[in-house]
A and B are shown apart, each in its own frame.
Chain A
Amino acid sequence: MQFGIFTVGDVTTDPTTGRTPDDTERVRAMLTIARHADEAGLDVFATGEHHNPPFVPSSPTTMLGYLTGVTKNIVLSTSTTLITTNDPVRLAEEYAMLQVISDGRMDLMMGRGNTGPVYPWFGQDIRNGIPLAIENYALLRRLWTEDVVDWEGKFRTPLQGFTSTPRPLDGVPPFVWHGSIRSPEIAEQAAYYGDGFFHNNIFWPMSHTRQMVQFYRQRWEHHGHGPADTAIVGLGGQVFMRKDSQKAWDEFRPYFDNAPVYGHGPSMEDFTRETPLTVGSPQQVIDRYATMREHVGDYQRQLFLIDHAGLPLKTVLEQIDLLAGEVVPVLRQEMESVRPAHVPANPPSHAERVAAARAAGTDGAAHVGGSEDRWTGRTAEDDPQPAPAGAAFGL
């Protein structure tokens, strides 16, 4: 089972000192956090994507591309990649490039984004969130799996004879998760394609998470990907630890009380009872998260939010040490000791996906076309191998 961290990339004032990092400091802190997570032995680092302050991670593949070079083992991922407001053509190109550079040590998670104004800033409308997620992802998949794509949809300018480069590593696209908190349509989408489903439950009671994951599992089986319990599930989580439980409560409380989203609302006592937020000793975190499988079944990826609400970098790095040193080894052992043999322990790695694709004969070409450039310096009318008249418009 994979255990890792995911970051929102918020710039938040530390309520205990009144100090606010600037954007540069926060970006650099995120890089330090990711490197430290790799060195400590965590399995996954995922960054959010945002296009409005107080969040800094607008350009995930730039960040993750750098991290592929300075980390060794950690899987680099997103939480989430905006499938609604990004051009799916650019997503196909950027994440294939990341896949090649990282030698397959990456995957990505699609999400819609719930910030209304971001949609019009990128020429879209939040009311089309679901149709955008469905159409854009359908195009993204075709760009990764088909060498030459003709396309016409509702939301994007049509494509004729388009090849996304670089072609995916070994002709096999990255593994994709779909994240959604309350849209059954997205769970259905993940199930249809046999992709992973991630429920970021950190602000929600487990009863809700259980319903969404159950639905995804049933639909996974319905769409013929195997028994429901073999579907690929990830969960969010949120912890703050000190060896002494009371010290954890005392230290985290001002961050909780002033945190974005839930600050100035429920008490930490209420919130830790109602949601997966766990504040206490490493053993308390182990005990709480060992029960998650009782709600959603045996799952493959557990991500923790540990660097938000203005927590100082030093504290975050200490949390990574506690997580990697004391929590994950025990939790992994507990989770694996009860996992049925036919249920995957991890989401599929690149090597496993390549082997499966070759066995099924579905792997694609690692290069398309010859070595001559048919396009640069030309207009479409100069196409040396012209398409039949009218083909560009599907006539």
Chain B
Amino acid sequence: MTTSTPAPDRRLVVVSAGLSKPSSTRLLADRLGDAAVRELQGLGLTAEVETVELRDHAHAVVDAMLTGFPSGELAGVLERLTAADGIVVATPLFTTTYSGLLKSFVDVLDKDSLTGTPVLLGATGGTARHSLALEYSLRPLFTYLRADVTTTSVFAATDDWAAAEGEDGGGLPARITRAGRELAEKVALRRNEGPADPFAGTPDFTALLGGL
């Protein structure tokens, strides 16, 4: 036990929707998470990262879609995800958009559970021709959930893993650093207060009755 270690200032959850092992999506997810932690350290904050491979929960995600409630380990993952101070989501792009597994996972979330949570988006694909999928499909998904999505999202094509830093500093490492900084700045400003008590907001019955 590390009971003597002080609790970290912030907790991040990194979600990788890659299907293969090892996966380039996981690689991107890890780098984005590392960048956010580095930048938080620069701001004087310690951070703990939990990485979630959706592949490990694929069956539980489908079960939750069919039954309406998460079971087993997935229940804990959802609790920690919705309690996180910041989230990194990385997905492969399949047939023009994020993976179906990621969408199913998001569908299992309570629609209010990510309201205001800083989110950094990443995606991997074969060529840079798919890079805008982040903007036209993944970003609206999290905007709908009222998450606080960073301006920079990071697309990594196969080529990017071999390319040197571009002359304009626009290579993959620079984009990862910039995105990590944006997430860190948002996370530094806000701690997750935890989910709202669903019973706390229930009006007294006389208010529900109105004038009846």
User: Quick check: is A116 within 8 A (CB to CB) of the other chain?
Assistant: no
User: How far, in Å, is A273 (CB) from chain B's closest CB?
Assistant: 8
**B65 to A, closest residue via Cβ:** A265
Task: Give, as a whole number of angstroms, the nearest-CB distance from B179 to chain A.
Answer: 37
Find residues 198-222 in chain A having any chain B CB closer than 8 Å to their own CB.
Answer: 203-205, 208, 211, 215
Report yes or no: A184 in contact with B198, Cβ–Cβ below 8 A: yes
B208 neighbours in A (Cβ, 8 Å)? 130, 134, 185, 188-189
* Pair A270/B71 contact, Cβ less than 8 Å: yes
How far, in angstroms, from A135 to B211 measured CA to CA in the complex?
10
Classify the secondary structure of A's interface with B: helix
Q: How many residues of chain B get a CB closer than 8 Å to chain A's CBs?
A: 17
User: Which of B21-29, B152-160, B185-193, B199-207 contacts the other chain?
Assistant: B199-207
| Residues 177-207 (chain A) with a chain B CB within 8 angstroms | 184-185, 188-189, 191-192, 203-205
Q: Which residue of B lies closest to A204 (CB)?
A: B69
Task: Collect the chain B residues with CB atoms within 8 Å of residue A205's CB.
Answer: 69, 71
Report whether B67 and A223 are in contact in the complex, using a CB–CB cutoff of 8 Å: no
Contact B71 A266 (CB under 8 A): yes
Chain B residues with CB below 8 A from A185, complex form: 202-203, 208
A203 to B66, CA, bound (A): 10
B169 interface contact, C-beta 8 A: no
Whether, in the assembled complex, B212 has its beta carbon less than 8 Å from a beta carbon of chain A, the answer is yes
User: Which A residues lie within 8 Å of B62 (CB)?
Assistant: 265
Which residues of B sit under 8 angstroms from A130, Cβ to Cβ? 208
B196 CB within 8 Å of chain A: no
Q: Is the CB of A265 within 8 A of B202?
A: no
Interface flags for A258-269 (1: CB within 8 Å of B; 0: not) read 000110111000
By a CB distance below 8 angstroms, the chain B residues around A271 are 67
A53 within 8 A of B: no
Residues of A within 8 A of B205 (CB): 188-189, 191-192, 223
A274 at the interface (CB under 8 A from B): yes
Q: Could you tell me the distance between the alpha carbons of A223 and B206 in the complex, rounded to whole angstroms?
A: 11
Q: Count A-side interface residues using an 8 Å CB cutoff.
A: 27
Residue in B closest to A192 when the chains form the complex, CB atoms? B205
A138 at the interface (CB under 8 A from B): yes
Task: For B75, give the chain A residue with the smallest CB separation.
Answer: A205
B66 to chain A: closest residue by CB: A265
State in angstroms the CA–CA spacing of A271 and B67 once bound together. Answer: 9
Bound-state CA distance A188–B201 (Å) is 12
CA A153 to CA B210, docked complex, whole Å: 10
Q: How far is the CA of A265 from the CA of B61 in the complex (A)?
A: 10
A264 pairs with B66, CB closer than 8 A: yes
Question: B67 touches which one: A135, A211, A266 (CB < 8 A)?
Answer: A266
Residues of B within 8 A of A274 (CB): 69, 71-72
A256 to chain B minimum Cβ distance, whole angstroms, is 12
B166 interface residue (CB < 8 Å to A): no
A266 to B68 alpha-carbon distance, docked (Å): 11
Residues of B contacting A262 in the complex (Cβ-Cβ under 8 angstroms): 66-67
B68 neighbours in A (Cβ, 8 Å)? 203-204
Give every chain A residue within 8 A of B48 (Cβ-Cβ): none
What A residues does B162 contact at CB under 8 A? none
- The 8 A CB mask of A364-392 against B (1 = contact, 0 = none) is 00000000000000000000000000000
* Residues of chain A within 8 A of B204, CB atoms compared: 188
In chain A, residues 102-148, which have Cβ atoms closer than 8 Å to a Cβ of chain B?
Answer: 130, 134-135, 138
A333, B66: Cα distance in complex, Å: 37
* Closest Cβ–Cβ distance, residue A205 to chain B (whole Å): 6
Interface string of A346-358 (1 = CB under 8 A from B): 0000000000000
Contact B212 A138 (CB under 8 A): yes
Selected contact of A211 from candidates B66, B69, B199, B209, CB within 8 Å: B199
Q: How far is the CA of A261 from the CA of B65 in the complex (A)?
A: 10
Residue in B closest to A266 when the chains form the complex, CB atoms: B63
Shortest CB distance A157–B (Å): 16
Q: A265 — which chain B residues lie within 8 A by C-beta?
A: 62-63, 66-67
A215 to B202, CA, bound (A): 10
Given contacts A184-B202, A185-B203, A265-B62, 12 further A-B contacts (CB under 8 A): A130-B208, A138-B212, A188-B203, A188-B204, A211-B199, A215-B202, A223-B205, A262-B66, A262-B67, A266-B67, A266-B71, A270-B72
Interface CB pairs A-B, < 8 A, 9: A135-B212, A184-B202, A188-B203, A189-B205, A203-B67, A261-B66, A265-B63, A265-B67, A274-B71
Q: Could you tell me which A residues sit within 8 Å of B by CB distance?
A: 130, 134-135, 138, 153, 184-185, 188-189, 191-192, 203-205, 208, 211, 215, 223, 261-262, 264-266, 270-271, 273-274
9 closest residue pairs by CB, A with B: A265-B66, A192-B205, A184-B202, A266-B63, A274-B71, A138-B212, A215-B199, A184-B199, A265-B63
